[in-house]
Structure 1
Amino acid sequence: MTTEKVLFEAIANLIPTLEVAKISEERKETLQPLIDFIQNKAESKQKIRINFICTHNSRRSHLSQVWAQTMATYFNIDNVSCYSGGTESTALFPMVAETLLKTGFEVQTISEGKNPVYTIKYAVNEHPVIGFSKKLDDDFNPKSGFAAVMTCSQADGGCPFIVGAEKRIPITFEDPKAFDNTPQQAEKYNERSVQIATEMCYVFSQITI
């Protein structure tokens, strides 16, 4: 990695510990369409836009957006812009921000209210991810030429067609929301974050440039 793209130390130290080898062959098949999309764009020197979509854009879609952007930097894949959206707008769940903070990201709240806006920074000189809940077709998100990655089964089933998406890819994760207000909450959010990080690490490690 070039000096300009240095990830924060805790994140850079975490990535080599991710157990990519334990990803099942079945799961790798699920991830392959995203690898193909990124590879094709990289080979043709096109902008790589990925919009991670879940029902409420509050948990899994944000974790996926942040980790995908981080892994693109880690593996030196240029021209990658990651987004997230929902079938409805709610708020980024605070435990997601807390989980990322504990992992080594710099997280700042730049706007309060019912739908706070966060900056989530992963590298010294890279733009932070702007984290807030929004509908998938929000003006903040791309209108065409993107891959729509469906991160929850409800959004996957409820959105058979995504306007403007070049490719629609279901890669669903279990919702850590099931453990909200339980003693296992922090552990389960971290578990889901690590799973998503591991799978995004695998995806971007497969790209040849």
Structure 2
Amino acid sequence: MLYQNIKNQIEALDMDSISAERKTILQPLVDFIQSKVAAKKSVNLDFICTHNSRRSHLSQVWAQVAAKYYEINNVFCYSAGTEATALFPVAAKTLENTGFEVHTLSTGNNPVYSIKYAENSHPVICFSKTITSEFNPTSEFGAIMTCSSADKGCPFISGAEKRIPITYEDPKAFDNTPQQLEKYNERSLQIATEMKYVFSNIK
């Protein structure tokens, strides 16, 4: 069962706020997931951006939560970057503020976080990694490009069954400004709303 604060947050998300143009962009992801569910196969989703530090992690976590909310089983969400850096602490803090249990499993230049969203579900393990990391699937996965620079700079992703560009503006632009927390939360909720929409369309 999802933690109550997270469940409340998901139920408050307004899918009517998603534009028709944006729904068209999301449709290939709906189709990919639906095809896997219909074939009774695992749904492997790898969310990719340049540094695997912000947007890709937020997308990974919210997609996993949306699958749980709509009781769509065998969905496994991953994230990666064209290069590895670190999960930006404010991204983790933004999720914690939304009701996730965030624990730091290891520290250093690239800390490893456990992000738990439900009482009896595996937490999402978050740290920065490249698309060739052994932590991620090597075949039969959908590669969701969450930033335009990764989409342009990474034309081929080995093992990806389908490549789906769903790009988001980078909240990094507001780092070290008074709007930082507000903008990270805004981006997190946009991603959450769109992942809710995607999984709400799976039959």
Instruction: State if a TM-score over 0.5 links the two structures.
Output: yes
2 CA distance for matches of 1:71 and 1:181?
30
2:199 to 180, 198, 204: 204
SS at match of 1:143: coil
1:111 equivalent in structure 2: 106
Once the two structures are TM-superposed, the CA of residue 22 in structure 1 deviates from its matched residue by 1.3
Segments of 5+ residues of structure 1 without an aligned counterpart are 1-5
SS at match of 2:194: helix
CA RMSD, aligned part only? 0.4
The yes-or-no answer on 1:157 pairing with 2:152 is yes
1 CA distance for matches of 2:165 and 2:138?
19
SS at match of 1:51: strand
1:44 equivalent in structure 2: 39
1:194 equivalent in structure 2: 189
% identical equivalent positions: 67
The yes-or-no answer on 1:57 pairing with 2:37 is no
Segments of 5+ residues of structure 2 without an aligned counterpart are none
Amino acid at match of 1:15: I
SS at match of 2:48: strand
1:182 equivalent in structure 2: 177
The yes-or-no answer on 1:90 pairing with 2:85 is yes
Show CA shifts across 1:21-41 (max 9, x none).
110110000000000000000
**Count of matched residue pairs:** 203
Once the two structures are TM-superposed, the CA of residue 150 in structure 1 deviates from its matched residue by 0.1
1:3 equivalent in structure 2: none
Query: Structure 1: which 4+ aligned runs deviate by more than 3 Å?
Result: none
Show CA shifts across 1:27-68 (max 9, x none).
000000000000000000001000000000000000000000
Amino acid at match of 1:205: S
2:2 to 4, 7, 12: 7
TM-score where L is the length of structure 2: 1.00
Amino acid at match of 2:140: G
2 CA distance for matches of 1:125 and 1:110?
19
2 CA distance for matches of 1:16 and 1:202?
11
